[in-house]
Structure 1
Amino acid sequence: MIQSLAHRRPPITLRSTDAERLSHLADAAAERHPVTAEFLAVEVERAKVAPDEAPLPGVVCMESELSFRDNSTGKEKRVTLVYPPEADVEAGRISVLTPIGAALIGLSVGQSIAFETPSGEQRSLTVLSVSEPR
């Protein structure tokens, strides 16, 4: 199912270092989180990779603060996208190794993405705003 949804996904962009690190993270997490790890690996594989120094205004990168809307519920959230060791849901720091985090990485403001959670639930998110990583 992950592969069949991929052809309908919007184009995404990742910085070179993030793409490499995320690829390794997906490989390392394959046993513990197979569905999300595969989803993240597919996203990294299909991403346009930009040089680390390239400005990516409005693109969700690692450490970006962003707001998004859950299109299923209409609720809006503001979060920072981080690597798993820095995750703290209470503080609004979500891991890229969660279904939502993996869905958001590389999207631009205004883009929406549909994906399936490990429990089989269909979700859709829209990026509303992105602040550059600090």
Structure 2
Amino acid sequence: MNPTPLYITRDDHNRLHLLINAALRTSRSAALEKLRGELDRAVVIDPAAVPPDIVTMGSTVKIEDLYTSEIEEYTLTYPDRADIAAGRLSILAPIGTALIGFREGSIVDWPTPGGIRRLKIHRVTQPALAETRA
């Protein structure tokens, strides 16, 4: 279990639980189960109390793959807004589930079929609250 606290807004917590429950009706996946486990241990907070360096829904995250030195930037979104070509990453993608709740500067282990990848979070940019809810 990950000892890092996972901070999430009340609205996102509720919306993600609904999303997971709906998705689990049609498909069982390790990513969905992992996200549900992360939500179960989450610290639910008011949106105004979210620390600015925490990856949350709507955050833009600059990450580095520590094995390849590749640097990428994604905005964490709900599945209906995801578009990897536009840099919008679904929370249901394994990397999206892996990143949520971590702080800027954290090293995140990301399991892939080829083995564990290590990602470093270089920067977290929080959106305006209105953009997060769009």
- Identity level (%): 35
RMSD of Structure 2 on Structure 1 (CA): 1.8
State how 1:8-87 maps to structure 2 within 5 Å: 8-30=2-24, 31-32=26-27, 34-87=29-82
Structure 2 regions of 5+ residues with no counterpart?
Answer: 129-134
Q: Does 1:103 align with 2:95?
A: no
Query: Quick one: which amino acid aligns to residue 21 of structure 1?
Result: R
Query: Structure 2-normalised TM-score?
Result: 0.83
List gaps (5 residues or longer) in structure 1: 1-5
Shift of 1:9: 4.7
- Name segments (4+ residues, structure 1) moved above 3 Å: none
* Partner AA of 1:14 in structure 2: I
Aligned pair count? Answer: 127
Deviations 1:88-115 (A, max 9, x none): 0100001000000011111111112224
Question: By how many angstroms is 1:120 displaced?
Answer: 6.4
Q: Distance in 2 between matches of 1:90 and 1:122?
A: 24
The corresponding residue for 1:3 is none
TM-score by length of 1: 0.83
Question: Partner of 2:121 in structure 1?
Answer: 127
- The one-letter amino acid paired with 1:80 is T
Contact 2:78 / 2:91 at 8 angstroms: preserved in 1?
Answer: yes
1:124 CA displacement: 2.5
